[in-house]
């Protein structure tokens, strides 16, 4: 074996790339002076492509496989440089490995709210976020349009641009979709496919594609969501009048359980709520329906009726006399027509009683002294 054959065997290169970063899109194979020997072995693994750049010009793209860099399998390179000198004429080219795997779980989101016109709420501001995946479909175009001469190009260097494209197309699709805000949650899958299809035309020019785009959430500003929550609560409550009565009754119950709290304030509050609820129910009628006419001012309360005066009947000599008022009976006591033993009766009394035994009439006999005691017996 001659010295030329020996040196040629010693300098045959093995060109390959093992990616251990999981976020690198393009990696340049570093070689001293960028010299690649004739007959070098090129290994392109699955999920990769190798792009040869010769003197600043795209020369060839190799798909997965094992290649011997010789004239017969590099027709494009042959037209760029003579290969007939073997080891004595190594060619200077740059080899870029491009990952064609799918990069997943990439985040996107709207930095600022999107203005849209909702058919129910009118003008609204929307925010959205989600995930997407991307992969290189045309390594040569991607290298020319995006990478340039970068020796190591990562996903972070292009994700910002892709996110901007996604947000731009998402804003346009949402604004022209006509889907109500309340129905967007049921249409996120279709919206994601529609946005991905609109984006594909733009990123294809970069040699990329978006296999997947997911919309995880579409939200309104917090103030609007708070109002919507109140609206939902009103729908759950139903009849506000009945709910007010129920809430008042609950407050009265809570106040009654703590009558001494805060110096009786709770009890007073409960009484006030009770009176307010009573007035409201009185105005609404027996079925809780408010009358159609305007409420009239409340009239002054009428005075209570006078007390009913008892009248009395007297039993005397087997006959009944009366009725007599208490005042008349008092005059009869003075005149001697009514004694303590006289039987009297009034409505509601259980049978005839001695006048002295009736508490209401017993006081009539205290005005007159009792009868004198009988005289002592003669001695």
| CATH code of the domain in which 202 resides | 3.30.479.30
Half-sphere exposure of 41 (CA within 13 A, CB side): 10
Is 174 among the domain residues?
Answer: yes
Kindly report the backbone phi and psi dihedral angles of residue 32, in degrees, each rounded to the nearest multiple of 5, phi listed first: -55, 115
Task: Tell whether 73 and 186 lie within a shared domain.
Answer: no
Kindly report the backbone phi and psi dihedral angles of residue 82, in degrees, each rounded to the nearest multiple of 5, phi listed first: -75, 135
The larger pLDDT score, comparing residue 229 to residue 197, is at: 197
Which of 61, 77, 99 corresponds to the end of one domain? 99
What's the rounded Cα separation, in Å, for the pair 365 and 370? Answer: 8
Q: How confident is the model over 222-272, as pLDDT tens digits?
A: 877 777 777 676 666 666 677 677 677 777 777 666 655 554 455 555 555
| Contact (Cβ atoms closer than 8 angstroms) between residue 49 and residue 28 | no
Task: Tell whether 107 and 95 lie within a shared domain.
Answer: no
Q: How confident is the model over 131-187, as pLDDT tens digits?
A: 999 999 999 999 888 888 788 888 888 888 899 999 998 888 888 888 888 888 888
Task: Tell whether 29 and 116 lie within a shared domain.
Answer: no
Helix residue spans in the chain (DSSP H): 3-10, 75-80, 139-142, 156-177, 181-184, 188-203, 222-237, 240-257, 265-284, 326-335, 359-362
Its domain, for residue 124, covers 103-224
Task: Tell whether 219 and 112 lie within a shared domain.
Answer: yes
pLDDT band of residue 108 (cuts 50, 70, 90) is very high
Structure-token pair, residue 357: 């035994």
- Please, what's the b/e burial string for 270-285 (b: 16 or more CB within 10 A of its CB; e: otherwise)? beebbeebeeeeeeee
Q: How confident is the model over 38-54, as pLDDT tens digits?
A: 778 889 999 999 998 87
Pairing between β-strand 57-62 and β-strand 65-68 as defined by DSSP bridges: unpaired
Q: In angstroms, how far is the first alpha carbon of the chain from the final one?
A: 188
Task: Tell whether 140 and 29 lie within a shared domain.
Answer: no
Number of structural domains (the chain) is: 3
Task: Tell whether 214 and 108 lie within a shared domain.
Answer: yes
Residue 355 pLDDT: 81
Task: Tell whether 121 and 92 lie within a shared domain.
Answer: no
Which of 35, 65, 99 corresponds to the end of one domain? 99
Is 300 among the domain residues?
Answer: no
Task: Tell whether 21 and 133 lie within a shared domain.
Answer: no
What's the rounded Cα separation, in Å, for the pair 186 and 168? Answer: 22
What single string gives the DSSP state of each residue in 301-320? PPPPPPPPPPEEEEEETTEE
| Contact (Cβ atoms closer than 8 angstroms) between residue 146 and residue 165 | no
Task: Tell whether 169 and 195 lie within a shared domain.
Answer: yes
Task: Tell whether 211 and 110 lie within a shared domain.
Answer: yes
The CATH number for 351's domain is: 3.30.1490.40
Structure-token pair, residue 282: 């009185």
| Contact (Cβ atoms closer than 8 angstroms) between residue 24 and residue 55 | no
Highest mean pLDDT: which range of 5-19, 172-186, 207-221, 308-322: 207-221
Task: Tell whether 38 and 95 lie within a shared domain.
Answer: yes
Is 237 among the domain residues?
Answer: no
Task: Tell whether 85 and 190 lie within a shared domain.
Answer: no
Is 234 among the domain residues?
Answer: no
Residue 299 pLDDT: 67
pLDDT value at 7 more than 50: no
Cite the beta strand spans of 12-121 per DSSP E.
Answer: 14-15, 24-29, 35-36, 41-44, 48-54, 57-62, 65-68, 91-92, 94-99, 103-109, 114-118
């Amino acid at each position: 074996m001659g010295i030329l054959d020996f040196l040629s065997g010693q300098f045959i290169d093995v060109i390959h790339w093992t990616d251990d970063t999981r976020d690198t899109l393009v990696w340049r194979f570093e070689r001293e002076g960028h010299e690649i020997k004739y007959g070098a072995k090129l290994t392109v693994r699955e999920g990769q492509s190798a792009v040869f750049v010769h003197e600043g010009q795209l020369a060839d793209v190799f798909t997965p496989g094992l290649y011997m860099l010789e004239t017969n399998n590099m027709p494009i390179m042959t037209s760029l440089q003579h290969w007939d000198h073997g080891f004595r004429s190594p060619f200077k080219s740059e080899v870029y490995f491009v990952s064609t795997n799918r990069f997943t779980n990439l985040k996107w989101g709207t930095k600022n709210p999107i203005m849209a016109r909702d058919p129910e709420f009118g003008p609204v501001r929307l925010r959205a976020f989600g995930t997407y995946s991307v992969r290189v479909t045309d390594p040569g175009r991607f290298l020319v349009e995006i990478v340039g001469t970068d020796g190591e190009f990562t996903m972070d260097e292009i994700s910002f641009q892709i996110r901007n494209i996604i947000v731009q197309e998402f804003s346009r699709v949402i604004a022209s979709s006509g889907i109500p805000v309340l129905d967007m949650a049921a249409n996120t899958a279709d919206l994601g496919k529609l946005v991905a299809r609109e984006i594909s035309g733009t990123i294809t020019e970069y040699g990329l594609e978006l296999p997947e785009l997911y919309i995880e959430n579409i939200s309104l500003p917090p103030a609007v969501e708070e109002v919507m929550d109140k609206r939902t609560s009103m729908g759950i409550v139903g009849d506000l009048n009945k709910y007010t009565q129920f809430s008042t009754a609950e407050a009265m119950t809570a106040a009654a359980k703590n009558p001494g709290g805060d110096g009786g304030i709770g009890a007073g509050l409960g009484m006030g709520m009770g009176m307010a609820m009573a007035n409201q129910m009185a105005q609404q009628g027996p079925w809780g329906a408010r009358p159609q006419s305007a409420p009239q001012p409340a009239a002054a309360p009428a005075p209570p009726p006078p007390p009913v005066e008892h009248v009395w009947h007297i039993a005397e000599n087997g006959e009944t006399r009366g009725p007599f008022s208490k005042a008349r009976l008092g005059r009869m006591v003075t005149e001697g027509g009514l004694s303590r033993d006289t039987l009297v009766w009034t409505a509601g009394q259980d049978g005839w009683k001695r006048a002295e035994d009736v508490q209401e009439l017993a006081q009539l006999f205290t005005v007159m002294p009792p009868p004198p005691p009988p005289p002592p017996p003669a001695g």
